Amino acid sequence: MEEELKTLAKMQALDDQIGRYRILQKELPKQLNEIIESVEEATANLLAVETERAEINKKQRSVEMEIKQMQEQSKKYSAQLTEIKNNKEYKALNSEIAYIKDKISDNESSLLELMELENEIKEKIATAKSVLEKAEALKKEKESDLREQIASLDTKIEEVRTQRNDLARTLPVSLVKYYGNMIKHKQNQAVAYTREGSCGACGFVIRQQMRIELQLRRKIIYCENCGRILMNRFEDKTDDASS
């Protein structure tokens, strides 16, 4: 009977391993997606700030153009001014020139504001570039490894399952069936080890008589509460999948 219990313990260790692989099957694709998404996000962000800069540059060029046109206009008027004899016309043209000069000055202020904006956006671009570089470096470092791991998990699970099934063949069919049911319905745990006089899985306190039977290892003991196969841990680490 002790051999059967050891076999069950080994089977549980293998199912624990399968459980860990299953968790990885969920987690690794998430990690991979996060890495890919962070590159996409950083790319989109860089594009957005670069577009913003292009718009600022466009405005700058148009303001500069306006200033140039107004300066030419002002020069033209100033030249006309010397030829005017009529006082009324002289005044009118003079105030027109003053108006244009005000406009030029306004435009020069907006040009300065745009330059400041451009400096800010340059910093944003630098930050966005460095974020993108880091995201790409992380992707380069991890992507293929993650993809390989994800691709190999099915095979790994199949290998462990085969080992477990080989062990199961040495046990009575009804016991294997019971074990399988527990694995299926009790969070992948069919075997529970005793812990300080209780079931290590559900915490139910084990009766004195049962504790003695657990020490004797002469029959299969089931937890009276959760139904899992109960046993004391083996000293030789039978239940450790890594050994």
**Nearer to Zn ion (CB atom), residue 18 or residue 230:** 230
Q: Going residue by residue from 194 to 233, which x/- string records binding to Zn ion, judged by CB under 5 A?
A: -----x-xx-x------------------x-xx-------
Give least dist CB 232 to Zn ion, A: 14
Length in residues, the chain: 243
Structure tokens at 92: 């009118």
C-beta closer to Zn ion: residue 90 or 222: 222
Question: Alpha-carbon distance 67 to 76, whole Å?
Answer: 14
Q: Which range of residues in 77-85, 151-159, 164-172, 193-201 is near Zn ion by CB under 5 A?
A: 193-201
CA distance 93 to 77: 7
Find the shortest distance in angstroms from Cβ 13 to Zn ion: 18
Residue 183 as a binder of Zn ion (CB under 5 A): the answer is no
Site string (9-28) toward Zn ion, x via CB under 5 A:
--------------------
Instruction: Please work out, in degrees rounded to the nearest 5, the angle formed at the alpha carbon of residue 10 by the alpha carbons of 9 and 13.
Output: 90
Q: CA-CA distance, 96 to 80, in Å (whole number)?
A: 12
Shortest distance (Å) from residue 221 CB to Zn ion: 11
**Rounded Cα distance, 14 and 212, in Å:** 28
Q: Please name the amino acid found at residue 87.
A: N
- Between residues 111 and 202, which has the closer beta carbon with respect to Zn ion? 202
Query: Smallest gap, in angstroms, from Cβ of residue 11 to Zn ion?
Result: 18
Planar angle of CA 138, 155, 10, nearest 5 degrees? 110
Q: Around Cβ 235, how many Cβ atoms within 10 Å?
A: 6
* Closer residue to Zn ion (CB): 165 or 187: 187
Contact 205, 197 (CB under 8 A): yes
Minimum Å gap between C-beta 196 and Zn ion is: 13
Tokens of 189: 């745990």
Residue 226 CB, shortest distance to Zn ion, in Å, is 3
Q: Which residues bind Zn ion (CB under 5 A)?
A: 199, 201-202, 204, 223, 225-226
